[in-house]
Amino acid sequence: MPRRAVAAVRLVVIAAVTALALSGCDKDMSRQDKDKTWHAAQHLPNGLEWPLTPPPDMVTRDAPTAAPALSLALLQRGQERYAIACAPCHGAVGAGDGTVVERGFPAPPSLIDKRIAAAPTGHYVDVIANGYGIMYSFAERVTPRDRWAIAAYIRALQHAGAATIADVPAAQRSGLQ
């Protein structure tokens, strides 16, 4: 076969393969098979039935929970959860100087700032659940009860950050420097 014929055959084969490959591409998704109605699936795999019961430890994104009673156990739980979920960005005392910031990420606002401290406690719970600014939602990582515990601990940090030497009982001032 002459070279021109071989080149022409190659060109035809390349064009045919390209046309065949492109014929499978369809950017119009309106013709895909799908169920457009919003309802629960009729049949679940493995013989399960609707409604499914969520596992007991599952973090839900349902209606807000009521604030639990303030207690030492709640503050201790809040301190523990704060150290895990919040301290990497907000720092150990809430000043916005956590290890994430030390590595070059933007600093979050100081939780002991007067403007932030003026917000209602429920605001912190909402921010933990839904995120705010560049902070993403922690709803899947922090349970609703733990959100309130963290908010209570943030309040304790704010009170400690605003404390003066006059707030310390006279009998305990001698131990301070």
Classify residue 51 by its DSSP letter: S
What is the rounded average pLDDT of the residues 108-112?
93
pLDDT, one tens digit per residue, over 19-32 is 877 776 666 666 66
Burial (CB count within 10 angstroms: exposed 0-12, middle 13-18, buried 19+), residue 134? exposed
What is the rounded average pLDDT of the residues 54-81?
82
- Specify whether the CB–CB gap between 116 and 109 falls below 8 A: yes
Q: Rounded to a whole number, what is the distance in angstroms from the first to the last CA of the chain?
A: 98
Alpha carbons 130 and 37: distance in angstroms, whole number: 28
Q: Is the pLDDT of residue 83 over 90?
A: yes
Q: What percent of the chain has pLDDT over 90?
A: 49
pLDDT, one tens digit per residue, over 129-164 is 999 999 999 999 999 999 999 999 999 999 888 878
C-alpha pair distances (Å), 99 with each of 58, 83, 126, 136: 29, 12, 24, 17
Q: Provide the mean pLDDT of the chain.
A: 84
Alpha carbons 82 and 88: distance in angstroms, whole number: 9
Determine the topology of domain 79-163 in CATH.
Cytochrome Bc1 Complex; Chain D, domain 2 (1.10.760)
What is the rounded average pLDDT of the residues 31-60?
63
Q: Is the pLDDT of residue 88 over 70?
A: yes
What is the rounded average pLDDT of the residues 70-96?
96
Give the residue with greater pLDDT, 126 vs 54. Answer: 126
Q: Give residue limits of the domains in the chain.
A: 79-163
Both tokens assigned to 58: 């599952």
